[in-house]
Amino acid sequence: MSVARVVSYAIAVGFWLATAVYAILSSQAFIVEQFLKPGLLPPVAFFSSHFELICPVALAAWAVPRAEAIRRRELPSVVTGVLWGGAASIALVLPALSTLEPGPAALGVAAMAFVAMLTLGWAEWTGRRDCEWTMPEQRPGADLVAVLVAALGANAIETGASLVTSADSISFADWGLGLRYDLLLGMVVFLVITLIRGLANMQRRPAAFETALSIGVIAAVWIWLIHDVVLASISWRGPDSWMISLLGGSAIAWTACARAVARRDSPSDGVATAVCGLAPRFAARPAGAVTWLLLLAGLAYALHRVSLIADWNFVVARLGVVLVWMGLLAGSLRAVRVAARVPLGFCFGASLIVLIAHSAVERVSADATPRTHAARWVGEILAPGSSGPAELFPLLLEHTNIGASVNVKAVDLQWAELETPPAGVRPNVFVIVVDSLRRDYLSAYNPEVDFTPSLDAFARESLVFKRAFTQYGATGLSVPSIWVGGPVLHKQYVTPFAPMNTLAKLLDHEQYVQWISMDNILDVILPASSRRPVLDQRVQVKDFRLCQTLSEMSSRLATRGANDPPVFAYTLPQDIHISVITREGGRPVDEGNYQGFHAPTASRVRRFDTCFGEFVADLERRGLYDESLIVVTSDHGDSLGEGGRMGHAYTLYPEIVRVPLIVHLPLAMRDRWTWDLDRPAYTTDVTPTLYRLLGHQLSASAPFFGESLVRPAGESAPMARDRMVAASYGSVYGAIVDSGRRLYVADAIQLREMAFDLGDGPMPGTPISPDPATRSQASKVIRDTVEGLAKLHGFSPSK
Ligand SMILES: [Zn+2]
């Protein structure tokens, strides 16, 4: 097999795999709204918008080295070529792939791409090449040595990659735990191989049976990975997800193994034959084995780096562990030829020793928790278990990422009647929601911060809500919940959304001129209005920067007349969004010393802090500062390395749900209102607060809605309510309980629970073990809110 043929096969498989991945991404409403439409994934955007060009190019790359087979009319090659040619022609007349929307079309494209992979494998299989090598007679001995080599190799590679990429050190005990897990996994693999060989020995053609069964097992591993790791992490369950997993797992295993499958009547080793496509031929030679080891180490290192910058529920990291393991196993099954004299009894004896040693150590160090990602994940593979409120998980799964095709009622929500004429005194309102800003990156919340002098000065003249939270761990639902003033149905989005947008109703009623940085979410949730000269008109969402937006506001303020209606301004600057920082090279933007902080973020916070200071100075110069209501908050926080986590989206951790919430009241309002800065405050309270300040009595549309952050002076505060929080793109829910002092999390993706003490200091929080009282209290809040929202919208998962 020539190198050209191998490369062209890889291009063909890669092309269809990329097509399938794109279609899977487009089948999820939240991914389309939050990642594809705003162009947050540039290579994906390039692929989808040039699909009709890439498709024939990839076809040509595949077909040229196979011209001979096609000329000979070999059926699989002809079928593959014709189908592919058909797809390429259809792609020319259909709308671009980038317009794919959630629904049957997206599922169809994904399924078609996997079928194309299956035919590629078929064509490769009939052009099968010889992939035999001499195996020792005593296979169990060779198998055992091979899995042990793979286990030790995997452990060395993953530990090395963790050491190089992570700031955390790895102790001897951490390493030992990982080694134990890898050895145990090795034993499981050994058992499976032995079983395959045993079953094959009962057949008439053992090698062929062994090969087929081994490919089946590899396919089963991929089906499970796609279903339980990839699709589960976007909370995609049900028959559709099984169909995609079955097709995808079979296609991946088949394209990887088919190339190498030897003649069906070959007397060779079937297991080794099946996996020989997973490791190159040179891995069988001593020098080649070292090269292969180094290549896999490089792969592990690269995937660790990628996972640290941006990963989705550790999907990249977890798939990486499996890939490295498979590559090592295939390589060592090829390379190990020395164990001919190891008797079968010794193999089982050795396995038994590993098991006994493991359970002995496990007993002494029962609550050892794995620190490296690989150890954590291998531990999960070996002992998949769940903790937490098992009865709550199905409810959460059913009520999360409700499909775009599911029709639910748009409800007319109201905080107040809005029948009176607009308020006499209406301050200008500026709402600045800095995407992903953590509270502990502002000196108002953390004395260690010395890079936010302007926001610090602003905070000293404002209300700084110490225990402030977002109800959603990512933009997709956090922003709508701010406009509604309460939690929203887990759907992107209920349409028309306007009846639920209580803030928009207030702004129209009070005749505010609305300066809004429109983005793909606001396009959906805001009703059309003639009162809206938009901000950042020709700027792409990912390029929204606070400095630029504030200077646009300042120049607009300069041209306003004395009798113009009041202004409401809203913007969601992307300065420190993880995708922006990654795109900008992941480096700080200045030379400052940000020890103890994530420098790329901190330096950008310093940059917009300066602009914010200039904006406040400008308001003061115009005599507007003391008459303006200014809110500085964020839509959620961000994980910046805690426990190896980066970013936000599908998780709930203290650093994600805690946000800054700083409210500057106009001077004239301060005497008439009172507030409690220690009381839990939520971004969903901003809208009810604006209603209250503009003179409206509140009546919430549902008991779980927000509340005003201020009340008339002299009035006492009602009891603080526990509230639900949730991830925007996954079935991970939580509750803030104990007057904002604890976060409880029920993770229906990983089927586990977590709890955190949020403390009184600047740090986000520390993990604690969830106690039954907290669990039942939090579960009730979560259940009541999820069911309440479903009831409000007439949504029932069974429909
Ligand atoms: Zn966001």
Cα of 632 vs centre of ligand 1, distance in Å, is 14
Helices 502-509 and 475-484 cross at an angle (nearest 10°) of: 40
- Which helix (H) or strand (E) element contains residue 733? strand 732-737
Beta bridge partners of 430: 569, 630
Is residue 173 within 8 A of residue 375, CB to CB? The reply is no
Return the CATH class of domain 428-793: alpha beta
Q: pLDDT at position 365, please? A: 63
Cα of 413 vs centre of ligand 1, distance in Å, is 24
Is residue 677 within 8 A of residue 464, CB to CB? The reply is yes
Cα of 770 vs centre of ligand 1, distance in Å, is 28
Cα of 548 vs centre of ligand 1, distance in Å, is 19
Cα of 492 vs centre of ligand 1, distance in Å, is 15
From residue 322, how far is each of 143, 220, 307, 434 by CA, in Å?
A: 19, 13, 14, 38
Cα of 526 vs centre of ligand 1, distance in Å, is 18
The dihedrals phi and psi of 731, each to the nearest 5 degrees, come to -85, 60
Cα of 284 vs centre of ligand 1, distance in Å, is 49
787 Cβ partners below 8 Å, 6+ apart?
395
Cα of 784 vs centre of ligand 1, distance in Å, is 26
Cα of 475 vs centre of ligand 1, distance in Å, is 4
From residue 202, how far is each of 207, 263, 265 by CA, in Å?
A: 11, 20, 16
Cα of 635 vs centre of ligand 1, distance in Å, is 5
Cα of 566 vs centre of ligand 1, distance in Å, is 28
Alpha carbon 502 to its chain's center: 30
Cα of 577 vs centre of ligand 1, distance in Å, is 7
Cα of 791 vs centre of ligand 1, distance in Å, is 27
Cα of 752 vs centre of ligand 1, distance in Å, is 25
Cα of 729 vs centre of ligand 1, distance in Å, is 12
- Which helix (H) or strand (E) element contains residue 86? helix 75-93
Give residue-wise pLDDT tens across range 440-498.
999 999 999 999 999 999 999 999 999 999 999 999 999 999 999 999 999 988 989 99
555 Cβ partners below 8 Å, 6+ apart?
none
Rounded to an integer, what distance in angstroms lies between the CA atom of residue 747 and that of residue 731?
7
Cα of 474 vs centre of ligand 1, distance in Å, is 5
Cα of 389 vs centre of ligand 1, distance in Å, is 29
From residue 283, how far is each of 250, 278, 539, 701 by CA, in Å?
A: 25, 10, 52, 66
- 617-625, long-range: CB < 8 A, 24+ apart: 618/554, 618/557, 619/557, 622/557, 622/558, 624/428, 624/557
Tokens of 49: 């918008």
Cα of 215 vs centre of ligand 1, distance in Å, is 43
Cα of 603 vs centre of ligand 1, distance in Å, is 19
Cα of 776 vs centre of ligand 1, distance in Å, is 30
Helices vs strands, H then E, count in the chain: 29, 17
Cα of 649 vs centre of ligand 1, distance in Å, is 8
Cα of 436 vs centre of ligand 1, distance in Å, is 5
Cα of 607 vs centre of ligand 1, distance in Å, is 19
Cα of 769 vs centre of ligand 1, distance in Å, is 29
Cα of 282 vs centre of ligand 1, distance in Å, is 48
Cα of 680 vs centre of ligand 1, distance in Å, is 21
Cα of 178 vs centre of ligand 1, distance in Å, is 35
Cα of 478 vs centre of ligand 1, distance in Å, is 8
The dihedrals phi and psi of 176, each to the nearest 5 degrees, come to -60, -40
Cα of 600 vs centre of ligand 1, distance in Å, is 17
Q: Which residue shows structure tokens 């001919």?
A: 340
Cα of 107 vs centre of ligand 1, distance in Å, is 28
Cα of 328 vs centre of ligand 1, distance in Å, is 39
Cα of 696 vs centre of ligand 1, distance in Å, is 30
From residue 610, how far is each of 307, 456, 594, 613, 658 by CA, in Å?
A: 32, 11, 16, 5, 23
Cα of 785 vs centre of ligand 1, distance in Å, is 22
Q: Which residue shows structure tokens 């079935």?
A: 731
Q: pLDDT at position 371, please? A: 67
Give residue-wise pLDDT tens across range 663-716.
999 999 999 999 999 999 999 999 999 999 999 999 988 899 999 999 999 888
Cα of 92 vs centre of ligand 1, distance in Å, is 36
Cα of 647 vs centre of ligand 1, distance in Å, is 10
Q: Is 481 exposed, middle or buried (0-12, 13-18, 19+ CB in 10 A)?
A: buried
Cα of 653 vs centre of ligand 1, distance in Å, is 15
Cα of 659 vs centre of ligand 1, distance in Å, is 11
Q: Which residue shows structure tokens 């929307």?
A: 101
Alpha carbon 581 to its chain's center: 16
Cα of 529 vs centre of ligand 1, distance in Å, is 25
Cα of 605 vs centre of ligand 1, distance in Å, is 15
Cα of 162 vs centre of ligand 1, distance in Å, is 29
Rounded to an integer, what distance in angstroms lies between the CA atom of residue 606 and that of residue 449?
10
Rounded to an integer, what distance in angstroms lies between the CA atom of residue 254 and that of residue 400?
33
Q: pLDDT at position 364, please? A: 65
In 3D space, the residue among 289, 283, 330, 320 whose CA is nearest the CA of residue 161 turns out to be: 320
Q: pLDDT at position 756, please? A: 96
Cα of 473 vs centre of ligand 1, distance in Å, is 8
Cα of 768 vs centre of ligand 1, distance in Å, is 27
Write out 379-406 in H/E/C secondary structure. HHHHCCCCCCCCCHHHHHHHCCCECCCC
Cα of 234 vs centre of ligand 1, distance in Å, is 17
From residue 763, how far is each of 454, 466, 467, 711, 766 by CA, in Å?
A: 22, 12, 12, 29, 8
Rounded to an integer, what distance in angstroms lies between the CA atom of residue 55 and that of residue 43?
16
Cα of 636 vs centre of ligand 1, distance in Å, is 6
Cα of 570 vs centre of ligand 1, distance in Å, is 14
pLDDT < 70 stretches in the chain: 1-2, 127-139, 166-169, 259-268, 310, 337-342, 362-371, 385-386, 799
Cα of 437 vs centre of ligand 1, distance in Å, is 9
Cα of 318 vs centre of ligand 1, distance in Å, is 25
Structural domain spans, the chain = 428-793
Alpha carbon 730 to its chain's center: 8
Cα of 372 vs centre of ligand 1, distance in Å, is 28
Cα of 336 vs centre of ligand 1, distance in Å, is 51
Cα of 223 vs centre of ligand 1, distance in Å, is 32
Cα of 551 vs centre of ligand 1, distance in Å, is 22
- Which helix (H) or strand (E) element contains residue 753? strand 752-757
Cα of 351 vs centre of ligand 1, distance in Å, is 50
Measured from the Cβ of residue 752, the count of other Cβ atoms closer than 10 Å reads 17
What distance, in Å, lies between the first and last C-alpha atoms of the chain?
54
Cα of 758 vs centre of ligand 1, distance in Å, is 22
Rounded to an integer, what distance in angstroms lies between the CA atom of residue 16 and that of residue 214?
24
What are the DSSP E strand ranges found in 566-678?
A: 567-571, 628-633, 639-640, 646-647, 661-664, 673-675
Helices 546-558 and 599-621 cross at an angle (nearest 10°) of: 10
Cα of 477 vs centre of ligand 1, distance in Å, is 9
Cα of 435 vs centre of ligand 1, distance in Å, is 4
Cα of 2 vs centre of ligand 1, distance in Å, is 49
Helix, coil or strand: residue 28: coil
Cα of 236 vs centre of ligand 1, distance in Å, is 22
